[in-house]
Structures are given as structure tokens and as C-alpha cells.
Copies of this chain bind each other. A is one copy, B any other.
């Protein structure tokens, strides 16, 4: 069984320019929650107006928590700092996600902190979250390459994984933020990760900026990874390559798993109901070739 963590409402929408109403975001999350997905990242508790698309984070999570709490789905939220944690705590969020990166240049541009400083900020957040009984997920950005520093050596990635391991997080999502990871690089790094930490806590988070996401997921599946992040319909984009694709589409991951004989527990047509809804609101075509062919032929 392969677990797909849906990140469309957060990572996807964050990289879409059209600002979506809270009602439409809620409807997107609601439709996703009917598809069989077991984890849907809803929003990010950043201080307004840092990211306009996330300005309604509190309202959205409140709607999700009051109307979808019996769905059996977990609804993690990104918590960039103590402000985000306090907000999450006040709303009764049970799953939070923290994030760092392998590269100081990227972390500085993204959250105005070095990698060390992100850990200084996160450590007390993680401690408090664990005391509150929250589940903590960690993201590692620029795991394979950084738009400012180029290719990232495995040793740097392993060091950040180790720091999150020590923090006691439940899951570590290894993010190819700008879609530069290459299959042989992914395979080599996973062999080292397996040796040092095992793969139990590892999720892979690929962007399809250069069309390499499915090849990287294939290699990850072969190495034994069972959790992948993706965005319904391929929602999102890449701030470092105008017009390029962002997160790999959930439908693409579904189809690759299906092709390889692996189950995901997701109902494809219900998933497409959610992605078609949000793509129509964003006003764009899906970048997923599988989804286009499936919508055109109605056949797998």
C-alpha cells in the first residue's frame, strides 16, 4: 500500500496567482477528503500578509475541522514559527508540519534564516507540539539541488535528516523543491538514507518542473519508499521557472502506482472531481499528461 500525502491546498495553491475564496478552498478539501486520501495538508499559518493565498488559514482550518472531523482524514497544517504554532494550537490542529532546507542561501531567501537558525526556531516548537500530543511532520526543501547553490551533496541531506530524527518527528518529507533531482542521484541518496536511518519515516516530495518526477518516484518505489507527496491535478507552479510545472500531480502518482500494481486506496474519479473543481477555479489546464489522456478517452 502506497500512501499519498495531498499537498495541493497548501503547496499547490501557494504557487498559484489566482487567489481562491475560502469557500472554494474548503470545497476542494472536502472533495479531496471523499477520494480515499488519508492526509491532506490544508494550509500554512504564516503571519498575514506574508502569503496572500494563505491569509484565510484560520477560517479555512476552522471550516475543515468543524465539518470534516469525522472523515477519518488527517489535515496537517504548515507551521513556520512560534506564531504559527500558537495559531495551530488555538485552533486544535492535531498534525503540524515544520520545514527546513539543505541550503543556507535558499533558507535565507525563503524564511530569512540559515539552516541552523531554522532549527533554533523549530526545536522549541517541536517540543511544545509533542507536549500537546500533536503529530509533527518535517519538510526538507532543496534536498537534491538549490537554485542558488546548485547540486546538494548527499552528506548535507543526511545531516538535516539526522537533525529531524533527533527532534522526534513522525515523518520526514524529502523535497525536490525546484525539480532538479535525477533518478541516479535519488537512488544513491536513498541507499544512504536506508543505511543510516531506514525508510520508515521517509516520504518523497518531487516537483515535476523538468518532467523527471515520475522517474524519480519509480526509483524511490524500487528502493522501498512507500509515502509520496503530490498535488491534485498538478496544481501549483514553480517560482524559479516561470510557466513551469510544480508538484507532481496526484493523478500521475496514482497512475504510476496503478501501472506498477501498487494500491493507493484512492478512487481516481473522486480525486479528479476535486482536481477538476480547483483547476476550473484557478483557471488553468492540468499539466498531467495522464489526466489529459484519461479525460479524453475515459479509459485507463
Q: Which residues 276-299 of A have a CB within 8 angstroms of B?
A: 287-290, 292-294, 296-297
Contact of A183 among B260, B287, B294, B297 (CB under 8 A): B260
Instruction: Assess A184 versus B241: contact at CB under 8 Å? Given A289-B208, A289-B287.
Output: no
Q: Is the CB of B214 within 8 A of A184?
A: no
Q: Which of A212, A214, A293 has the most CB of B within 10 A?
A: A293
Residue numbers in B under 8 Å from A289 (CB-CB): 208-211, 244-245, 287
Q: Is the CB of A238 within 8 A of B293?
A: yes
Interface residues on A, range: 35 or more
Residue numbers in B under 8 Å from A252 (CB-CB): 211
Contact of A211 among B184, B209, B290 (CB under 8 A): B290
Q: Which residues 223-266 of A have a CB within 8 angstroms of B?
A: 238, 240-245, 252, 255-256, 259-261
Q: Is the CB of A243 within 8 A of B211?
A: no
Residue numbers in B under 8 Å from A179 (CB-CB): 293
Asked whether any CB of chain B lies closer than 8 Å to the CB of A218, the reply is yes
Asked whether any CB of chain B lies closer than 8 Å to the CB of A47, the reply is no
**Which residue of B has the minimal Cβ distance to A218?**
B215
Asked whether any CB of chain B lies closer than 8 Å to the CB of A182, the reply is yes
Q: Is the CB of A288 within 8 A of B182?
A: no
**Which residue of B has the minimal Cβ distance to A184?**
B260
Instruction: Assess A242 versus B296: contact at CB under 8 Å? Given A184-B261, A261-B184, A289-B287.
Output: yes
Q: Is the CB of A243 within 8 A of B296?
A: yes
Residue numbers in B under 8 Å from A259 (CB-CB): 182-185, 212
Give 25 A-B contacts (CB < 8 Å), ordered by A residue: A179-B293, A182-B259, A183-B218, A184-B260, A208-B289, A210-B289, A210-B294, A211-B214, A211-B252, A211-B290, A212-B255, A212-B259, A212-B290, A218-B218, A240-B297, A241-B296, A242-B296, A243-B292, A244-B289, A244-B292, A244-B293, A244-B297, A245-B289, A245-B292, A287-B289
